[in-house]
A = this chain, B = another copy of it.
Amino acid sequence: MPKEVNIGILGLGVVGTGVAKILLEQKKLLTERTGVEFRLKTVVDLDWERDRGISLDGIRTTTDFEELVQDPEIEVVVETMGGIEPAFSFVMSALAAGKHVVTANKALIALKGRELLEKARECGVQFLFEASVGGGIPIIKSLREGLIANKILRIYGIINGTSNYILTKMHQEGLDFSEALQEAQAKGFAEADPTLDVGGGDAAHKLTILASLAAGGFVDFGSIPVEGITELTSLDINFAKNFGYVIKLLAICRFNGTKLDLRVHPTLVPGDHLLAAVNHELNAIFVTGNYVGDTMFYGPGAGQSPTASAVVSDLVDLARAILQPEGGYTLQMINPEKNVALFSLDEIANRYYLRFFTLDQPGILAKISGVFGKYGISISSVVQLETHGEKNYVPIVLLTHEAPEKAMFKALDEIKKFDFVRPDLLRLRLFK
């Protein structure tokens, strides 16, 4: 008889339902592959009216979270309710009650990961979160185990499917941001309020998790500079294309000595880089290790079945820990007591894409490039298009060589004061 592991699911939304489905549909396969019988015992949710398309016959359904915590048979709680509260309090109680916890809740880990991990340690239980980044892509296991021999030098992630879908549509079909957003919403790839996705916040949550794994200690979510894709126009996509680049919203983690350079922003990626070929709602995490070199992990970053696939892989890892009560362990790469220092933007340098709309007057390019010269910023390409007809403003686009962020901010402040420059200038960074 295989050992039985009793599982409780907290939150029967899209992901929770997906996990229940796999546990019910693949009971036999999972037992064959692991030697453990996963039994879905209890599901907690407030709404029992909605039809989720699965039969929960023989499974305890309740609105009372305490039933999970107080049931000594339940060894693992799967948190798929989302949000910070009450999810945080519930997970803390579950850990305190000696339950292992698996979650797909990236915001929760990004904001409360340290406390949760400390509590899990204190209570001698596991806290796993494979599904929190990259959906079904086993990126966390790969960082934690597959690449364990490596110092992780660089991570570049396309880890927000909504933004990548919008950028792909803008790039391939010439749509403007708002048109592409509407299409993403119509297809279910963007929420009614897309702020967290297109503003870069969701990618920053996930970057916090990836960077913490790479650094071995929690990084502070609030210190990550974040820029979204809402200011991009189809004009910028086209200019970038003509320069040989594709614009992607990248979550970036670069080690330099003992400090980390973390950011989320739209980035001009060279057209022949593999990341440039990651399209639609798909995700990819490009990881460079000191021994392994460049690797990339690609797949669906969201969706019921892919995310549930990742949650179940955590359950299988937990089964190993449960089978081995004396010292059974999964590798936890993050030490909650370790602090990780971050670079501020002021300390780093980048190449830039700059797009201005200026009045069509003589001498303007000279004035703009004069300011860059003053701050030691060297220009590598310029495109100024002719005006046709009634337009008063013409676009000027520049690519620069590498320059300190500090100098760039000062130069742009000065350029903004020219009365021939429209206020909607755009500054993007190039991949490095």
Contact = CB atoms under 8 A, between A and B. Distances in A.
A149 B298 contact: no
B313 A148 contact: yes
Given A141-B145, A327-B324, A331-B34, A295 B298 contact: yes
A20 to B, nearest CB: 12
A30 interface: yes
A312 B150 CA distance: 10
A141 B147 CA distance: 11
A137 interface: yes
Given A141-B142, A274-B277, A309 B331 contact: no
A295 B331 contact: no
B292 A306 contact: yes
Interface in A268-299: 272, 274, 277-278, 282, 289-299
Given A148-B34, A148-B313, A298-B298, A291 B22 contact: yes
Contact of A145 (B136, B313, B326, B333): B313
Interface residues of A, number: 60
Contact of A293 (B138, B303, B316): B303
Contacts of A333: 33
Contacts of A41: none
Interface in A302-333: 303, 305-306, 308-310, 312-313, 316-317, 320, 323-324, 326-329, 331, 333
Contact of A306 (B137, B151, B293, B306): B293
A146 B30 CA distance: 13
Contacts of A306: 291-293
A26 interface: yes
A136 B288 CA distance: 11
Interface string A123-142: 00000001000011110011
Contact of A309 (B29, B149, B310, B316): B149
A98 interface: no
Nearest to A32: B216
A300 interface: yes
Interface in A24-53: 26, 29-30, 32-35
B331 A316 contact: yes
Nearest to A144: B33
Contact of A305 (B291, B295, B296): B291
Given A33-B331, A299-B295, A328-B324, A289 B309 contact: yes
Nearest to A288: B299
A277 to B, nearest CB: 4
A8 to B, nearest CB: 18
A132 to B, nearest CB: 14
Given A324-B326, A324-B328, A331-B33, A305 B277 contact: no
Contacts of A309: 147, 149-150, 289, 291-292
Contacts of A292: 135-137, 299-300, 305-306, 309-310
Contacts of A328: 324, 328
Interface of A: 18, 22, 26, 29-30, 32-35, 130, 135-138, 141-142, 145-151, 216, 272, 274, 277-278, 282, 289-300, 303, 305-306, 308-310, 312-313, 316-317, 320, 323-324, 326-329, 331, 333
16 contacts: A32-B216, A33-B331, A137-B295, A148-B312, A148-B313, A149-B309, A272-B277, A277-B277, A289-B309, A291-B309, A292-B309, A293-B300, A293-B303, A294-B299, A298-B298, A324-B326
Nearest 9 CB-CB pairings of A with B? A138-B146, A295-B299, A136-B292, A149-B312, A296-B298, A291-B309, A291-B305, A277-B277, A292-B309
